Amino acid sequence: MSFVARYGPWALITGASEGTGAEFALLLAGEGLNLILIARREGPLAELATRVRSAGAEVVTASVDLSANDAAVQVAQAAGAREVGLFIANAGADTNSALFLDTDVESWEKLVTLNILTTMRNCHHFGQGMRGRKRGGMILVGSGSCYGGLYGLPVYCGVKAFDLTFGEGLWAEMRDYNVDVLNLILGRTNTPAHRRISEANGRPFDPSAMASAADVARVGLEQLPHGPIYNWGQSNDVAGMAPNSPDERRARILRIKEMSGKYLKASA
């Protein structure tokens, strides 16, 4: 099955205006997919849309605050009746840059909505069509912070841990319908957002020590059929930053699925 036949004709990307989101869009346009690009800032989004159209793809854009309670509704409205065969949840950075008690709880609630509720709702909405068509894919762009709590990042680590285990469970359910799900777990990546956050907090920013956004997008698409996890820069049989390797986690999930299948009946 060709890439377009498997994941097309439309791909929807959240957090699409720059960095890895923009690189995903350009690569997918080159593969022949049309794009629905979602981001908060209209200017960079419009600039990217022009670049993607020059590659021959149809483009729909929508300015959406993905931390808003109705964000998933707005995303679904932007997609309309278009057949979305690939969903990439690329938004989710922590811009609070504060200790937990040093900022208002509403800011943390927005981070939870952005990373958990909006992502879950989008997967549910677009996953319905993918399951019905028995093809498609989802990429949840995550962070190595998902593997344990860190000083200064308790909420961020928590939401990324949810995304990781949610993505693993979703992979186990959707693989029966020929739908691929991948947690793309990143380390330090050279993106404009990363640079802005680092500079705002007086932290050094050395692109030479980071992954490039273009490489991340390319490898993410290559790894999509091999979910549920890919840890950036590591082979799938190596634990690296995690307690166990992606291969070991996959085997565990499949064992549990086999046992659970005796008691749970999946929808047709």
d(CA 78, CA 194): 27
DSSP state of 100: G
265 is catalytic: no
Q: Environment class of residue 116 by beta-carbon count within 10 Å: exposed (0-12), middle (13-18) or buried (19+)?
A: middle
Contact 236, 219 (CB under 8 A): no
For the chain, how many residues are written? 268
E strand or H helix that includes residue 190: strand 189-190
How far is CA 129 from each of CA 82, 102, 266, rounded to the nearest angstrom?
10, 42, 16
Contacts of 69 (CB under 8 A, 6+ apart): 113, 117
Q: Which of 156, 230, 262, 265 is catalytic?
A: 156
d(CA 101, CA 241): 28
Q: Which of 147, 160, 230, 263 is catalytic?
A: 160
151 is catalytic: no
Strand partners, 103: none
DSSP state of 242: S
Helix, strand, or coil (residue 256): helix
Residues with a catalytic annotation lie at 156, 160
